[in-house]
Structure 1
Amino acid sequence: MTNEEVKEGIIFPVGEKNEAYAQYFIGQSYLNTLIADPEINVGVGNVTFEPGCRNNWHIHHEGFQLLLVTGGEGWYQEEGKPARRLKAGDVVITHDGVKHWHGAAKDSWFEHLAITAGRPEWLEPVSDELYNQL
């Protein structure tokens, strides 16, 4: 995915710099909240990662997270399992209580819809050592 494609938005507009969650990311991400209805316990956001950007390890409590990859290339990893390379069209299901992280490949922008229920618990950053081995 090129910078120009990201700016135009492949399917959904990229959104603003993700300042609200910046402390839980290494690198720059962008967030376009698509659904935030207080009457339901599910949020939907278009999350875009610059090359090399990744979020911290985290857990969703009393809920789940679904990732629908819409552009670029990235990574998803659950604790104790090998990292999985992601590309447009891939789908990830993260069940309640599973420690995981996701983010862009070193050389590619990455974009996904995140469908999330429950409460996140943000944990430690993904180490450069782990990330650079991918």
Structure 2
Amino acid sequence: MQIVRNTLDTGTGPEDWFTGDVYIDPVAAAPPPSRVSAGLVHFTPGSRTHWHLHPLGQTIFVTEGIGLCQRRGGPVEVIKPGDRVLFEADEEHWHGAAPTRLMTHLAINETDDEHDTVHWLEPVTDEEYLQTPEDDFGTIPEA
């Protein structure tokens, strides 16, 4: 067993990866040969990632709040605590908080010697972000 005491400060999400205020706490970054990393990502209302893709895919697990996500060409989906979202390898997508709600998720990523963990693309426009999805209960997030 190994206990690693957290000595890392919460980081601010870079402007070339995110729109709005986003904060990241590292969770797992084991040394090689491990290929898995994880971070707890905190999105303030209206904040979101830019479009991006992961060569080996990504899983996010929502821990609190209400979020939105979308794969390129698909509808905007509402995500809530306990929801797990798998983005397939090389699937262009974004995820973030609903317009009036905080959202936190655990992001789990994998990398290897031939691939980067993530490829960042252009920002999600307000028009793309403000599409009005209906969630499982038929309610629409406020813009």
Task: Specify the TM-score bucket, using the shorter chain as the normaliser.
Answer: 0.7 to 0.9
TM-score, normalised by the number of residues in structure 1: 0.83
- 2:44 is the alignment partner of 1:41: no
Deviation at 1:131, TM superposition (A): 1.1
Cα deviation code 1:70-95 (max 9, x no counterpart): 00001111011111100101010111
- 2:79 is the alignment partner of 1:81: no
Cα RMSD after superposing both structures: 1.2
For residue 26 of structure 1, what is the amino acid of its counterpart?
A: T
The range that moved more, 36-45 or 96-105, is 36-45
1:113 matched residue in structure 2: 106
Deviation at 1:22, TM superposition (A): 3.1
1:102 matched residue in structure 2: 95
Structure 1 segments of 4+ aligned residues over 3 angstroms from their partners: none
Structure number having the greater helix percentage: 1
Cα deviation code 1:35-78 (max 9, x no counterpart): 011311110110000000000000101x1211110000011110
Deviation at 1:18, TM superposition (A): 1.9
Q: Matched residues in 2 for 1:124 and 1:56: separation?
A: 6
For residue 90 of structure 1, what is the amino acid of its counterpart?
A: D
Unaligned runs of 5+ in 1: 1-14
Of 57, 60, 68, 1:64 maps to 57
Structure number having the greater strand percentage: 1
Identity percentage of aligned residues: 39
TM-score, normalised by the number of residues in structure 2: 0.78
Q: Matched residues in 2 for 1:90 and 1:116: separation?
A: 17
Aligned residues: 118
- Conserved 8 A contact 2:49-2:96: yes
* DSSP-derived class of the 1:71 partner: strand
Deviation at 1:129, TM superposition (A): 1.0
Q: Matched residues in 1 for 2:88 and 2:130: separation?
A: 26
